[in-house]
Amino acid sequence: MNKRKKDTRWLASVALMMAVVILLANTPLGMIQLPVIKATTVHIPVILGAILLGPLAGCILGATFGVCSLISNTMAPTLLSFAFSPFLSMTGITGALKAVWVSVGCRILIGLVAGWLWILLKKVKLNPMIALPITGFVGSLTNTVFVMGSIYKLFINEYAQVKEVAIDAVWGLIMATVTASGIPEAIVAAILVAIIGKVLINIVKIA
């Protein structure tokens, strides 16, 4: 009976966090439109869910984030939306599958990495106020590195085409995006995960 209650509580908590992800993904607070790509804060509840509910929950929340990203890039495309939406593929079915990996697969990794990193940091008994921002930073950077890295590996020719640059210039543009967008996002995530995570962990303990 206790296990059933625990499972029900876990499912309800995941559903609640999914609702937060979907809400953020559909408001300006969740996906900030930039000229070339959408900067996001939607990964923050994914990281928090992975910390509070475990890697499996993190993966589910990451997948939710990914599907929202796929839909957003399909409905309101930018220059790079071909890399996030299978419906905007420039190279047929192969490109569509690659786009699903970038939009959904890479986002699942956020929850997986954050969840297992948190477990590891707990095992070494690191102070939560140090472990929380580390997990937030790494989780956020996982999003940027895997998304932009996958674009570089899987869509280098298409990226060069839409940006109207030589292929050997793509790496520099990718690194510029990681530096200009990914690092600030990771710092913000570290701060917010530390603040919100501490409160939520205390609530969970009380409950």
- The C-alpha atoms of residue 43 and residue 24 are separated, in whole angstroms, by 10
Hey, what CATH class is 8-202 in? Answer: mainly alpha
Q: Measure Cα distances from 173 to 24, 35, 190 in Å.
A: 28, 14, 25
| SS3 call for 32 | strand
> How many other C-beta atoms are found inside a 10 Å radius of the C-beta of residue 178?
18
- Distance of alpha carbon 17 from the chain centroid: 14
Q: What is the mean pLDDT of the chain?
A: 91
Tell me: the pLDDT tens digits for 166-202?
999 999 999 998 888 888 889 989 999 999 999 999 8
Measured CA to CA, the distance from residue 61 to residue 84 in angstroms comes to 17
The domain segmentation of the chain, as residue ranges, is 8-202
Rounded Cα distance, 141 and 114, in Å = 10
DSSP character for 82? G
* Contact of 80 with 154, CB cutoff 8 Å: no
Q: What distance in Å separates the CA atoms of residue 9 and residue 115, rounded to the nearest whole number?
A: 18
Q: Give the tens place of pLDDT for each residue, 43-80.
A: 999 999 999 999 999 999 999 999 999 999 999 898 89
pLDDT digits (tens, 9 = 90+) for 104-149: 999 999 999 999 999 999 999 999 999 999 999 999 999 999 999 9
Residue 25 near residue 42 (C-beta atoms within 8 A)? yes
